[in-house]
Structure 1
Amino acid sequence: MTKVVIAEKPSVAKNIADALKIKGRNNGYFEGNGYIITWAFGHLLQLLDAKDYDEKMAKWRMENFPFIPHRFRYKVKSDPRNRGKEDSGARKQLKIIYSLIKRHDVDMIISACDFDREGQIIGDTIIYNLKTQKQVYRLLLNEWTPDEVLKGLQNIKPNTEMRPLQAAGISRQWADWVIGINLTSVATLKYQKGSGKALNIGRVLLPTLKIIYDRDKEIENFVPEDYFKLVATFKTKDDIEYEGTYVENEKEKFKSKETLKLIQQALINQTATILDKKVERKKEYPPYLFNLSNLQGFITSKYKGWTSDKVLKVAQSLYEKKYITYPRTASVVLEESLVDKVAKVLNNLKKGLPYENEITFAKKKRVFNNSKVESHSAIIPTYLLPKSLTRDEEIIYHAIKNRFIMQFMPIAEHEETKIMTKVNNDKIKGLFTSKGKVQLVEGWKKVEKIESKDTILPLVNIDEVVNIIDHKLTSHVTKPPKHHTEKTLLRVMETCGKGKDKEDENSEEMMAAILSGYSIGTPATRAEIIKKLKDVGYMASQNKNLICTELGRKLVETFPVKELFDLEFTGRLEKTLSDIEKQKFTKENFLNLIFDFTTKSVNTIKNDKDIIINEVTKEKKSIKVLGKCPLCGHEIIEGQKGFGCSNWKNGCKFVIWKNDKFLASMKKKPTKTMVKMLLKNGVTTVKGLTSKKGNKFDANLRYEKNPDNEYFSWKMEFIKEVVQKVNK
């Protein structure tokens, strides 16, 4: 008999087929060796829109809300370009999947979608929508390497064991639909003038906006204060100089300049004595392995132009290419069962490194700890070494690889010295403190060449007399808090504000907050939330800083359902979803809470005072025609996402996407000039294309229709007349 395996994406299906050495490729699936491997494109099904349940919901009217369906149902997902139509690709793939499941020789279905809430419901909605009686199993993997795929297929679980995960996924999906549909609709009707776009209200969107708003307000209301410091320079008997800062009652910042002036005058013609000296040898452990939020924070703060969303997309690409483990994880340690596998990976990665002989595998509690793993282990490389990576993939892969190698390098050690110097004048009550540091063992810091900025103090003894050779009184101003960046925002979201002032991502408090389940969103959704806040106009980026827009401010100050801005409220909801996974709470009770909350919230908005916080004005855009469509002869115009045919509503498929993958692989985007030339001459010359090896070259490009379908492919003619056809 034959088993049908449903992967979440075509690239994953290919990984499974490769592991099983299946060469036979058909329309929408691979087949061979007793397996059929097919795929979804993420969600093929979506929840019905409100108007699908009831015609009167086609127009937003205040009296029609709250609207909560008695039974939630699914349909083929909408075409992204025309929400009123089904996505034809999704419909076609669903038919293929269902025809495969119904085959008489098929006796088992295996869902191989990602091992998380979202992956669970992607597979389950497809399979159970068919109401099949065949046995359903689950393939649960953290990576797509051949070894893991083959091992995983030997250890599949009955899908019934995944019901708690499914319940949590459905609870999240239905709750967000109910809150989003109801509150977005009534808020738009109440607070917005004009139509064309909505005031987005979401369970996770608003508390994230409030974090940014609160920080902006803190900065706005900050009142700077002057303070002063007194620093003296001392010279030892060996003529070595060092500096000390005046401290009195453990305070080194003084509001009164006059107080320090008197002390400064008392220093003239005085000597000082070393009152105390402390030398401590301290260990510095490497930062923990990456979870998704820490990886996003690390990359967005280190590299210009990176967003959390981009980090996730590149990490997902590396995961699907089998080079790293599952990226959407909250854990910073590994399951103890991975010890042997990790030793193998480390052995592969360390070969040829300049510090290879310092890398030693050991089963450390700081790396392997079941009690601190939440669903998925931390992100690490797999045993497969990449042969070629894009520049972006290289940045992410090397960050993950380096963080992994650091765990098995010697612990870094430094010596900390603290000298207390007392001026030999009874009028001066305080002391001058000096702190210094010397790196003794570089250890894991070698991996990323982390250099310590050490202040080295002279070798002195207690009771030794030193000379005062200089002193300066400096004025300072207290600084306001810094604007949030994606790194700091992710940290607050991840811990729901608990431990938010801790800069140290290695702290136990931070880990406990993450593992408690209190959070805003999940590792998989936080990047999307940040991106959406920018897209809907509530938040903007200024360099790396995130700031609240005028519309975002007005929304926070006007919207009356204050619970949706409350981190504690949102954290409790996310914790409840986590508890549903752990069978500590039921889906039914959670949804009843959500439905009651939504009903009360709608009534609160209806009864709120009338105020307009956003006015939508429609700008008439002058549409520039770029040429004639090669398929139907209608006009080609520029849209938001591509250059396409104005006859698309009637089914014309001609389009050149602005994020075209073929051009992007050569570091180019289509331009109006390029499209005009293509339509006019059938060919365009493009200069400055980049090869996989990073070399620049020029080429002529054609965009020609495929003979067997309505889609187009690029043909590239090198200036040296070498011709290569590359299918889109």
Structure 2
Amino acid sequence: MRLFICEKPSQARDIARVLQATRRGDGCLAGSGVTVTWCVGHLLETAPPEAYGDRYKRWILEDLPIIPERWQVVVKPKVAKQLKAIQGLLQSCAEVVIATDADREGEMIAREIIERCQYRGPIQRLWLSALDEASIRRALTALRPGEQTLPLYHCALARSRADWLIGINLSRLFTLLGRRAGFDGILPVGRVQTPTLRLVVERDRAIASFVAKPFWTVDATLEADGTRFRARWQPPVNACDDSGRCLTETVAQEAAARLEHRASAQVSSVEIEAVREGPPLPFDLGTLQEVCSAKLGLGVQETLAAAQSLYENHKATTYPRTDCGFLPESMLDDVPNVLRALAAASPALAQWLRSADPARRSRAWNTAKITAHHGIIPTAVVIDLAQLSERERAVYSLIRARYLAQLLPDHEYLKSQVLLQAGQDRLVARGKQIQVRGWKAVIDELGDSDRPEPSQPLPTLREGADIRLLGTTVSAQRTQPPKAFTEGTLVKAMKTIANQVDDPRLKQKLKDSIGIGTEATRAAIIQGLIDHGYLQKKRRSLAATAAAHTLIEAVPREVADPVLTALWEQALDRIESGQLSVDTFLAKQAAWLTQLVHNHRSLTLPLPLPAPKGPSCPVCRSAMRQRKGRTGDFWSCTRYPDCKGTNPIKMSKRSVKPK
């Protein structure tokens, strides 16, 4: 019997349907010579500190650092029955096919079970990027040898255990130091969440310390051949800043007065450039989250949930947790089928589909640039748009527009720049004249463009011509502070955090690994910082709380620095290539951590920390948040699932409605 191990029940049902495994069993679906079973995410988790000794139940500085000699895992209680079912299937199968998500974490979910159950038979890997029937059938004909993807498990295992070392030890260390300073709550520290929090803290500080500077602009209105256009006065070097802004009002007013007394300006140069602009790549998850935050006002977790539902429940789109926007060239064969499905689902797309060319190859079609997954695109499944929620329809529309853009003509326009001289004053007029809207039309109408880009067509001008000068306008303006992060722009900053690193090799490593966190974890990291009370939402913006500022001042610079992730990624690459063992990597992390704890054990936090909102967890003393349960609302520990502490919500007399 060949056993397929999937990551979640919905995925198992889709694969079982193709394999004609329709007979229900204990935690599985069976067919002729094949059985499909499923996990529910991770069935196993790294054991908590108390598993290594009862003394670790109490948080004491003298016990730090906690470094296991032999790592242990425990079964998640809620899924113990499913693990037992898989264990029984592994004992009777002849071959295993790992069919979990095609990435490091997916590999680990299956391999940790296989290892715990001591299965020693042959293993193959099903590498899936979409759950529609055609994609599953194609992947089933191209199973990979298990040895090929085993290094992904080693990478995930090393990262998971090293994150445990940092999270457990430094969170306990700074929580205990916080209690010494009067803070009765948890101060969580982590390799990804702490640099993320630092990004927001530093942005808030930049906004708070920003001093607006006034500057002035002078715009002139000109006319040639019956066409009016605007040109901007260029201030002299001694009157402007590095950005070319005029900082002296009298200089701007005097220039405007001079221009008012002139009847014309002479064209000194004309530059015209024909520009062909290809479409943006299909979405990766981070870019989708950024656009949905800006256009739809969605949080990153809300976007991920909608994209996951489109993939799992509706089979409308491909795998969402991807860091890549490119598409394999082999998928060009699917374009006609996808277009037919889009047409059947939405007749309103007819005008775009008539213009779409299935043979067109944008830069998105590049097999060499594919990582574990390709960009998020529609599948060839005909869906009923009425069955989607309003949020799902909005997200699907964005994904669909980006895909259609790959099949439409390039956006073409003429970009013009004209320099004019009016006595001692110089003017610059810039224009854009659209020749072919191309893919811009579908993005503007159905996609992620907020509004069509404004353009100023310029008349035909020649050097030496005198152009009529009609008048001028002086505008007083002020420089603007940096914008506060939104959830979408924070995800983008996590992806592009290489910009914060000076070392060129480490900078490149962060670029190669797409920043800190993964497409699958960034949303949860941001939500965790909000739940713990370190970030707060103000409409769409995020702001760091006082506790966040204190924590970032207190933690060692190297912990809040993204360089740590870059160094880890270098090491994980070596693990994947067989040049470094998991044990050696963890030994180096343990030595570094031991020294760091020793250096900061006697640290005094710079400021008293504010008390967290709501009650404290009865188990770990962390902050709690309100959740909805089957029998009503209750308080749950913000460290869930690491801590299962709960409290009932006590109703006040005032909250009880009279009968």
Report the TM range for the smaller structure's normalisation.
0.7 to 0.9
| Contact persistence 1:520–1:574 (CA under 8 A) | no
Structure with bigger gyration radius: 1
The equivalences for 1:106-145 within 5 A come to 106-145=93-132
Secondary structure, counterpart of 2:272 in structure 1: strand
For the pair 1:368 / 2:355, whether they are aligned, the reply is: no
SS at match of 2:627: coil
Task: Say if 1:311 and 1:396, in contact at 8 Å, map to a contact too.
Answer: yes
Quote the residue 1:267 is aligned against.
Answer: 259
1:283 aligns with 2:276: yes
Distance 2:613 2:415 in 1: 64
Name 1:487's counterpart in structure 2. Answer: 488
Q: Which residue of 2 aligns with 1:454?
A: 455
Residue pair 1:291, 1:328 contacting (<8 A) in 2 also: yes
Is 2:563 aligned against 1:571? no
Q: Is the 8 A contact 1:323 1:386 kept in 2?
A: yes
Bigger mean CA offset, 119-128 vs 372-381: 372-381
Whole-angstrom CA distance in 2 between matches of 1:233 and 1:383: 53
The CA distance in 2 between the partners of 1:24 and 1:389, in whole Å, is 30
> What is the match of residue 593 of structure 2?
598
Equivalent position of 1:57 in the other structure: 56
Letter in 2 for 1:341: D
Q: CA separation in 2, counterparts of 1:267 and 1:196?
A: 67
Contact 1:116 1:165 in 2 (8 A): yes
Aligned pair in 2 of structure 1 residues 158, 284: CA closer, same or farther (>3 Å)?
closer
Question: For residues 637-716 of structure 1, what are the structure 2 equivalents within 5 Å?
Answer: 640-644=627-631
Aligned length in residues: 611
1:609 equivalenced with 2:604 (yes/no): yes
Shift of 1:349: 3.1
Report SS of the residue matched to 1:497. helix
Contact 2:185 2:612 in 1 (8 A): no
- In the alignment, the residues of structure 2 paired with residue 610 and residue 231 of structure 1 have an alpha-carbon distance, to the nearest angstrom, of 53
Aligned-pair distance for 1:239? 4.6
CA offsets 1:154-197 (integer angstroms, 9 cap, x no match) = 33233232221001110111011111111111111112257874
Q: How far does the alpha carbon of each residue in 1:418-438 deviate from its partner, in whole angstroms, 9 at most, with x for none?
A: 222221x3xx1x311111212
Query: Which letter does structure 2 place at the counterpart of 1:520?
Result: I
Is the aligned partner of 1:311 residue 2:266?
no
Could you tell me how far 1:108 is from its partner in structure 2?
1.5
Q: Which amino acid aligns with 1:461?
A: R
User: Over aligned residues, Cα RMSD in angstroms?
Assistant: 3.1
**Residues 140 and 242 of structure 1, relative CA distance in 2, 3 Å threshold:** closer
Compute the displacement of 1:584 (Å). 5.4
Residue 68 of structure 1: CA displacement? 0.5
Contact 2:358/2:407, CA 8 A, preserved across alignment:
yes
Q: Which residue of 1 aligns with 2:147?
A: 160
- CA positional deviation for 1:19: 1.1
TM-score by length of structure 1 reads: 0.78
Q: 1:30 to 1:268 in 2, by over 3 A?
A: closer
Aligned residue in 2 for 1:419: 418
More helix by share: 2
1:220 matched residue in structure 2: 208
Choose the corresponding residue for 2:521, options 525, 533, 538: 525
CA distance in 1, matches of 2:360, 2:416: 33
Residue 646 (structure 1) shift = 12
Query: Is residue 298 of structure 1 aligned with residue 252 of structure 2?
Result: no
518-527 vs 256-265, which moves further: 256-265
Residue of structure 1 in register with 2:642 after alignment: none
Corresponding position of 1:696: none
Going from structure 1 to structure 2, the CA distance change for 1:261 and 1:133 (only over 3 Å counts) comes to closer
Equivalent residue, structure 1, for 2:375 = 378
- Displacement of 1:65: 0.9
How do residues 377-526 of structure 1 correspond to structure 2 at under 5 angstroms?
377-387=374-384, 388-423=387-422, 425=423, 428=424, 430-448=425-443, 449=445, 451-498=452-499, 516-517=512-513, 519-526=515-522
Identity over aligned pairs, percent: 29
Report the alpha carbon displacement of residue 462 of structure 1 after superposing the two structures with TM: 2.9
Aligned to 2:531: 535
**Unpaired segments ≥5 residues, structure 2:** 502-506, 617-624, 636-650
Q: Secondary structure at the match of 1:473?
A: strand
Deviation of 1:279 after TM superposition, in Å, equals 2.5
1:187 touches 1:605 (CA, 8 Å); kept in 2? no
Report the residue type matching 1:473 in the other structure.
V
Taking a change above 3 Å as real, the CA distance of residues 230 and 123 of structure 1, as seen in their structure-2 partners, is: same
Compute the displacement of 1:217 (Å): 1.2
Q: C-alpha separation between the residues in 2 aligned to 1:619 and 1:298?
A: 33
Task: Tell whether the 8 Å contact from 1:226 to 1:478 is kept in structure 2 after alignment.
Answer: yes
The match for 2:168 is: 181
Kept in 2: contact 1:216–1:547 (CA 8 A): yes
Q: Partner letter of residue 518 of structure 2?
A: T
Q: How many Å separate the matches in 2 of 1:439 and 1:404?
A: 22
Q: Match for 2:561: what amino acid? A: D
Distance 1:578 1:537, change over 3 A: farther
Q: Indicate conservation of the 8 Å contact 1:171/1:587, yes or no.
A: yes
Distance in 1, Cα, partners of 2:89 & 2:259: 90
- Return the offset for 1:578: 4.4
Following the alignment from structure 1 to structure 2, what is the Cα–Cα distance between the partners of residues 618 and 469?
62
Q: Contact 2:290–2:488 (CA<8 Å) still a contact in 1?
A: yes
Q: From the superposition, tell whether residues 594 and 341 of structure 1 become closer, same or farther in structure 2 (CA, over 3 Å).
A: farther
Indicate conservation of the 8 Å contact 1:496/1:568, yes or no: no
Corresponding residue SS for 1:220: helix
Q: CA deviation at 1:340?
A: 2.1
Superposition TM-score, scaled by structure 2 size:
0.86
Distance 2:500 2:164 in 1: 31
Asked if the contact 1:281–1:416 (Cα under 8 Å) also holds between the matched residues in 2, the reply is: yes
Is the Cα contact below 8 Å between 1:329 and 1:375 reproduced in 2?
A: yes
Amino acid at match of 1:589: T
For residue 557 of structure 1, give the secondary structure of its aligned residue in structure 2. helix
Q: Which amino acid aligns with 2:47?
A: L
Letter in 2 for 1:52: A
Structure showing greater relative contact order (alpha-carbon pairs closer than 8 Å, 6 or more residues apart): 2
1:230 aligns with 2:218: yes
Q: Is contact 1:516-1:575 (8 Å) kept?
A: no
- 1:66 and 1:512 map into 2 onto residues whose CA distance is 32
Distance in structure 1 (CA, Å) of the matches to 2:488 and 2:370? 22
What is the deviation of 1:620? 7.1
Read off the aligned partner of 2:87 and give its amino acid letter: Y
Deviation readout 1:383-403 (Å, 9 max, x if unpaired): 112223222221222211110
- Please state how far the C-alpha of 1:74 moved relative to its aligned partner: 1.0
- 5 Å-filtered alignment, 1:6-17, equals 6-17=5-16
Deviation at 1:357, TM superposition (A): 2.5
What is the CA distance between 1:465 and its match in structure 2?
Answer: 2.1
C-alpha distance in structure 2 between counterparts of 1:620 and 1:247, whole Å = 60
Q: In the aligned structure 2, how far is the partner of 1:195 from the partner of 1:479? A: 36
| C-alpha contact (below 8 Å) 2:216/2:475 kept by paired residues | yes
